[in-house]
Amino acid sequence: MLEQLEGSRAVAESVALCRPEVICAYPISPQTHIVEALSQLVKAGDLTPCEFVNVESEFAAMSVAIGASAAGARSYTATASQGLLYMAEAVYNASGLGLPIVMTIANRAIGAPINIWNDHSDAMSQRDSGWIQLYVESNQEALDVHVQAFRLAEELSLPVMVCMDGFILTHAYERVDLPTQEQVDAFLPRYEPRQVLDPDDPVTIGAMVGPEAFTEVKYLAHAKQMQALDLIPEIAADFATAFGRDSGGLVRGYRTEDAEFVVVALGSVLGTIEDVVDELRDAGVRVGALAIRTFRPFPIHEIREALAGVPRVLVLEKALAVGIGGIVSQNVRMAVSDRDLNVRTAIAGLGGRPITTASLRRLFEDALADRLKPLTFLDLDRGLVERELQRSRERRRSGPHAENMLRDIGVVAAGPV
Amino acid sequence: MFQVRIHGRGGQGVVTAAELLSVAAFDEGRHAQAFPSFGSERMGAPVVSFCRIDDREIRSREPISEPDAIIVQDPTLIHQVDLFAGLVPDGCILVNSGRTFRELGLGDLLERYRPERLRTVPASELAREHLGRPLPNAALLGGVAALCGVVSIAAVTRAIREKFPGSTGERNVAAAEAAHACVDAEMREPAGA
């Protein structure tokens, strides 16, 4: 049924349709509305049987999810930013133990400086944690991909993160097509755990493994995650058949045919990018976009194929690996390592800076004219940086950068529009 | 595409106004996208929300910098925040006030824009009268329906009733209808009065 819903509400409804049995969460912006809505559904008796566990931290949230999943319950949690970092130790345990937990990441920057706005630093920090990572472009896709995530997680017995842009998606109201319970039940079978703590058939889960088998257990984790490269497209195809929508999958090309330039990105910025692509195509410029929908496992062959013959590639990413630059770009470079191709990186949208069509247009024009350096920071205020460097040179005790730079631009606390 | 930017202060229902406008447009079979200016919202702080309305899917996620209409929920923002930046040449402005644009010190806007599209409506007073509280957002949406015609007053009142069932909704509907009648009547009079 078509409804005009907030993204968080749409995700909560979608998760509820998947019949989770345990939801444990600690609220953090911009994830809060998702778990708030789910707690209301549980309390009202609209989602049953399901236990909503209020925990005292994100570390506890993931720990409860691990326990619940090991006991055979379909388990869900959600977090963002510092919350994900705080649960990091347990995040690795969930994947190492092979527990099919589904977790929404309402993507948000990581401090310091503290910042509640959107970028991908949080999810990117856990890219090598052994979790599958799916990125969504719209609230419809967020809703759809959660349904697919439970099936994927449980089939492989691996945890899945669904990454959706905080605020930009979680707090946006837009039209979504909400499936019925019957449709979701037909698509998502009952959870049949591959391992379970059962008093009638006792096992232990979580043995200490020494050098004699640690490599093999880790190798298997890698091999298992790579199986997702086959399973994800199958599930997306099944989903398209059952629900009539293209959601999920590994990658999605947009107008990449004959492109002399393709921009690669993850998440909601693809919508704005596609508007600019259309504009440039209308003007006769051959540009296209490539959405990476699955970042872990990394769909290296699909990306190589999608970029075959494309002479200019720019990866636009919402996270910065301090000391090297792009994260997604390093992976994309691996995919095209068989070619002599300079993949450019643009770091954009950090800490919630809007990515505008005007800035994208300029960036793409620079890319097409081969004016881009290997690493670009979109809309960087160089003057602001230079003045702070100058202050640092002039005084030994020049003080904290963040405070100095805010004072420089005339802002005391964050928040002006 | 029709783009609306709403300015107000935390606690005045700025974000809810954009949501309701999007629901009204959705209700009329259109695509709509509403979102707040994201921040640590707190009572009294300047807040902005946005709403896009179109006949096809809306993909862009950038904030609205060139609105077709601007709603000002709190007139005390007028000389503090750059409220009217980027308004398109034939754009609409609706300010929550019982005073005229000239009395508000906004006379220059009457020269730069089409004066018949710049209106004020005493939304807080109408809200106080109908709700018992000076919450202007629903009333202003009624006013916008009259001023821009981008959504009908019927769709606005349906959206309000859906969001606020019961007497709260009915009282907000009354405020919206009163503001709609007010702006509608003004539209029939000479501009900029």
pLDDT in tens, A235-267: 999 999 999 999 999 999 999 999 999 999 999
pLDDT level of residue A415 (50, 70, 90 thresholds)? very low
Domain-embedded: residue B192: no
Interchain proximity A275–B34, CB inside 8 Å: no
Rounded to the nearest integer, the mean pLDDT of chain A is 96
Cis ω for the linkage preceding A113 (within 30 of 0): yes
Q: Tens of pLDDT along B97-138?
A: 999 999 999 999 999 999 999 999 999 999 999 999 999 999
Interface test with A, best of B27, B62, B64, B80 (most A CBs within 10 A): B62
Please check the confidence at residue A417 and state whether its pLDDT lies above 50.
no
Question: What is d(CA A76, CA A96) in angstroms, rounded to the nearest whole number?
Answer: 17
CA distance A293 to A316: 14
C-alpha distances (whole Å) from A161 to each of A7, A8, A79 are 17, 15, 10
Q: What pLDDT is stored for residue B191 in this prediction? A: 54
Q: Which amino acid would we find at residue B125?
A: E
Residue A29, CB-side half-sphere exposure with 13 Å CA sphere: 13
The closest of A120, A319, A345, A147 to A248, measured between CA atoms, is A147
Task: Looking at the complex, report in whole angstroms how far the Cα of residue B81 sits from the nearest Cα belonging to chain A.
Answer: 9
Helix, strand, coil shares of chain A as percentages rounded to 5?
A: 40, 15, 40
Task: Let me know if A221 is exposed, middle or buried by CB neighbors in 10 A (0-12, 13-18, 19+).
Answer: middle
Whether B193 is in a domain gets the answer: no
B33 interfaces chain A, CB cutoff of 8 Å: yes
Q: Count of CB atoms within 10 A of residue B156's CB?
A: 29
B77 within a domain of the structure (yes/no):
yes
Query: Which residues lie across from A4 on neighbouring strands?
Result: A175
In this predicted structure, the answer to whether residue A416 has a pLDDT above a threshold of 60 is no
Residue B89 in domain: yes
pLDDT at site B44 = 83
User: Could you tell me if residue B9 is inside a domain?
Assistant: yes
pLDDT at B39: 65
**Residue range B23-81, pLDDT digits in tens:** 999 999 999 999 998 665 677 889 999 999 999 999 999 999 999 999 999 999 998 88
DSSP designation for B91: -
Q: Is the pLDDT of residue A413 over 60?
A: no
Percent of chain A whose predicted confidence (pLDDT) is above 70: 99
**Residue B120 belongs to some domain of the structure:** yes
- Mean pLDDT across B187-193: 66
CB contact under 8 A, A416 and B46: yes
* Per-residue model confidence as pLDDT tens digits over A98-140: 999 999 999 999 999 999 999 999 999 999 999 999 999 999 9
Residues from chain B that touch A170, judged by Cβ atoms under 8 A, are none
Say what the alpha-carbon torsion angle A152, A155, A158, A162 is, to the nearest 10 degrees: 10
CB contact under 8 A, B40 and A414: yes
Which amino acid type is present at position B163?
A: K
Q: Which residues of A236-257 are buried (b: 16+ CB within 10 A; e: fewer)?
A: beebeeebeeebbbbbbbbbbe
CA distance A307 to A251: 11
Q: Do B22 and A173 make contact, defined as CB atoms within 8 angstroms?
A: yes
A370: exposed, middle or buried (C-beta count within 10 Å: 0-12, 13-18, 19+)? exposed
- Cβ partners under 8 Å of residue B58, min gap 6: A174, A271, B1, B31, B32, B33, B52
What pLDDT score does A414 carry? 47
Portion of chain B with pLDDT greater than 90, in percent = 88
Which residues in chain A have Cβ-Cβ distances shorter than 8 Å to B43?
none
Measured distance CA(A59)–CA(A67) in Å, rounded: 12
The boundaries of the domain holding residue B73 are: 2-187
Percent share of chain A, pLDDT over 90: 98
Q: Cβ distance A299 to A280 under 8 Å? A: no
Residues of chain A with CATH 3.40.50.920: 251-377
CATH of domain A251-377: 3.40.50.920
Q: Is B167 on the interface with A (CB under 8 A)?
A: no
Q: Residues A249, A255, A257, A258: is their CA dihedral positive or negative? A: negative
Per-residue pLDDT reduced to its tens digit, A17-37: 999 999 999 999 999 999 999
Distance from CA of A294 to the nearest CA of B (A): 20
Q: How far is A234 from chain B (nearest CA, A)?
A: 26
Q: Which two tokens stand for residue A281?
A: 């195509």
Q: Provide the pairing of β-strand A132-135 with A294-296.
A: antiparallel
Q: What span, in angstroms and rounded, lies between the C-alpha atoms of B95 and B87?
A: 14
Taking the C-alpha atoms of B47, B53, B57 and B59 in order, what is their torsion angle to the nearest 10 degrees? Answer: -30
Chain A: residue nearest B52 by CA? A174
Q: Which pTM was predicted? A: 0.96
- What does the pLDDT look like over A332-361, one tens digit per residue? 999 999 999 989 999 999 999 999 999 999
Binary contact (B46, A417; C-beta < 8 A): yes
Given a contact cutoff of 8 angstroms between Cβ atoms, the answer to whether B1 and B57 are in contact is no
Q: Specify if B180 maps to a domain.
A: yes
- Give the CATH number of domain A2-243: 3.40.50.970
Query: Does A10 contact B at CB distance below 8 Å?
Result: no
Residue B179, helix vs strand vs coil: helix
Binning chain B into helix, strand and coil, the percentages to the nearest 5 are: 40, 20, 40
Instruction: List, by residue range, all CATH 3.40.50.970 domains of chain A.
Output: 2-243
CATH of the domain at B101: 3.40.920.10
Token representation of residue A266: 């993850």
If one counts the domains in chain B, the total is 1
